[in-house]
Amino acid sequence: MDQQLQLDQQQLVSAWQERLPSFMDDGDSYTVQADEGDKKSLLIHFNAAGRQNYTLDFRCTYVDSREVAVNLVDVERDGLHTDERTDAVQQLAQRYTRQIHECAQALKPLTNH
């Protein structure tokens, strides 16, 4: 049986901001904010470490209290939209998607009560 997420969106953002760093690679940075258009979603912006200056934006939506859906929304390089199908971008997207899922798993005691 699916359980609806009962946690306030701002509490969720705070929990993600506190927990996500433990899953991040050295040098990478991120921001987490509420998706104003969907109270079950967060917007997560990653700044990849390195000289290539990639930034990736994801929407993390709680399907229920235990499961998240992660969607890549935008990719930029040096501030310009770039092709998300390149190997470098795909590798970054896979890594960040995994980190988002790992963080969601770690927060289950908070979201699934």
Global pTM? 0.92
- Residue 44: HSE in the Cβ half-sphere, 13 Å Cα cutoff: 33
Give me the sign of the Cα torsion angle 112, 98, 20, 58.
negative
Placement of tokens 């235990």 in the chain: 66
Q: In the chain, pLDDT over 70 holds for what percent of residues?
A: 95
Q: Find the largest Cα–Cα distance for the chain.
A: 46
Confidence of residue 113 (pLDDT cuts 50, 70, 90): low
Cα 1 from chain centroid? 25
Integer Cα distance of 102 and 94 in angstroms? 12
Q: Are 15 and 34 in contact (CB under 8 A)?
A: no
Residue 1 has what pLDDT?
38
Condensed to tens digits (0 to 9), the pLDDT of residues 1-26 reads: 356 677 789 999 999 999 999 999 88
